[in-house]
Amino acid sequence: MTRDLLRFATAGSVDDGKSTLVGRLLYDTKSVLADQIEAVQRASVDKGLSTPDLSLLVDGLRAEREQGITIDVAYRYFGTPKREFVLADTPGHVQYTRNTVTGASTAELAVLLVDARNGVVEQTRRHAAVLALLRVPRLVLAINKIDLVDYDEGVARAIEKDFDELARTLGFASDAVVTIPVSALAGDNVVERSERTPWYEGPTLLGHLESVPVTGPEVAAPFRMPVQYVIRPRKDELHDYRGYAGQVAAGTVAPGDEVVVLPGGARTTVAAVRTADGPLDSAAAGRSVTVLLDDDIDISRGDVLASAAEPPRVTDELDATLCWLAEKPLRPGARLLLKHGTRVTQVIVGAVGERLSLDSDVPLWEPAPEQLGINDIAHASLRTADPLPVDEYADIRATGSFLLIDPPTGNTLAAGLVGTPLAVAR
């Protein structure tokens, strides 16, 4: 029996205990090798600790170990009898907010940690805003170090109330956020239920991760599939074979569906949907397939197959929200490359609009800056050299997002979201 997969990310301030929590999950689910545990035990003894420092299971890079922080996004894979997981462990320092964007961009759930002694702080607001901006569907507020406040229910309830107000401001639905008091160090409510929080009746963190629905909004959305590769075997027995391979980015596709090929606009009908294992009755978002069409149409890598009834708009002018990820500042007029799906085209950045301020208790859009610096989130207009089939990011994440690339170096400069996915006050 195939187990389903949950992609989730962790976020939180430095020293809130992300690495220890991840280590606890891996350790208590028996997802680490015996020699890794022995190495951690030896290192913990060398540090004078009486119990294993589980954060050492994930702080694998030397620079990270020396500083005691996570710098890069670290992906961990583990599983239980009920589900498989891909975990993106993201940094806590403010200068690594760009890495939080990277780690959360494909997550279906995020675990946002707060220290029970400190409650909701500026980094909590920053991370929550980024997660809302990226439309991560579900959140877990993990109130960590509950042991350091004597498992006090009043402390946990006060933090939950503060965060609930923030989450509502950012547009999260009440049933999308679950609050769990945990102690990653002692193991309370991480994998095993704690007897020291009798006032808490919800699931453990692992129990919630194993049971939360994983069917994202992309499955119910209109069909979208960027063409990654045109398959033409050119063999005698497959002389006329022409298939279009790619990953279904949104919706479902099935034989008989009418589709439109964009940006060109030609319409046709799906003849078959196949994988290496044979034909399929249908394929949903996340599935990599080859689509065969009834008509012989000129289709290339970078084109998008889409629902003919609900197609994306085709445009060369974008109003977008940019998360600037580079040290190099962005100034209006910059000529860059834009990667949308499997297509890369040239782009000129127009006016830079409002910038999202995360310095106050409530995120606010503030007047336009002259340029964007690293970690800035702002509105901008762009003009592309080629027309692109795009959706609003709030509707479909895959075809509503893009990357800006530095032409000389090929480095990624920004993550772009079509439209204004974060509707906070101005």
3-state secondary structure the chain: CCCCEEEEEEEECCCCCHHHHHHHHHHHCCCCCHHHHHHHHHHHHHCCCCCCCHHHHCCCCHHHHHHCCCCCCEEEEEECCCCEEEEEECCCCHHHHHHHHHHHCCCCEEEEEEECCCCCCHHHHHHHHHHHHCCCCEEEEEEECHHHHCCCHHHHHHHHHHHHHHHHHCCCCHHHEEEEECECCCCECCCECCCCCCCCCCCCHHHHHHHCCCCCHHHHCCCEEECCEEECCCCHHHCCCCEEEEECCECEECCCCEEEEECCCEEEEEEEEEECCEEECCEECCCEEEEEECCCCCCCCCCEEEECCCCCEEEEEEEEEEEECCCCCECCCCEEEEEECCEEEEEEEEEEEEEEECCCCCCEEECCCCCECCCCEEEEEEEEEEEEEECCCCCCCCCCEEEEECCCCCCEEEEEEECCCCCCCC
pTM, full prediction: 0.78
| Fold of the domain built from segment(s) 5-211 | Rossmann fold (3.40.50)
Give the list of residues 6+ apart from residue 212 with CB closer than 8 angstroms, or none. 6, 109, 138
- The domain made up of 224-307 is a member of CATH 2.40.30.10: yes
pLDDT band at 62 (very low <50, low <70, confident <90, very high): very low
The mean pLDDT of 32-39, rounded to a whole number, is 80
- pLDDT, tens digit, for every residue of 288-324? 999 999 998 999 999 999 999 999 999 999 999 998 8
Mean pLDDT computed over 119-139: 87
Q: Convert the pLDDT of each residue in 359-396 to its tens digit.
A: 776 778 888 788 898 888 899 999 999 999 999 998 99
Instruction: List every span in the chain annotated with CATH 3.40.50.300.
Output: 5-211
- Examine the pLDDT at 46 and tell me if it is beyond 50: yes
Segment 58-86 shows an average pLDDT of 68
Averaged pLDDT, 186-201? 95
Backbone angles phi, psi at 165, to 5 degrees: -65, -40
Q: Where in the chain is CATH 2.40.30.10? A: 224-307, 313-418
As a whole number of angstroms, the distance between CA 371 and CA 393 comes to 23
What value does the mean pLDDT of the chain take? 87
Q: Is the pLDDT of residue 122 over 60?
A: yes
Q: Is the pLDDT of residue 243 over 90?
A: yes
> What confidence category does residue 155 fall into, taking pLDDT thresholds of 50, 70 and 90?
very high
Instruction: Give the pLDDT band (50/70/90) at residue 65.
Output: very low
Distance CA 197, CA 151 (A): 6
- Lowest-confidence region among 59-68, 189-198, 342-351: 59-68
* Rounded mean pLDDT, 125-145: 89
Of all residues in the chain, the percent with pLDDT exceeding 90 is: 50
Which CATH code, of 2.40.30.10, 3.40.50.10190, 3.40.50.10790, 3.10.20.90, is assigned to 313-418?
A: 2.40.30.10
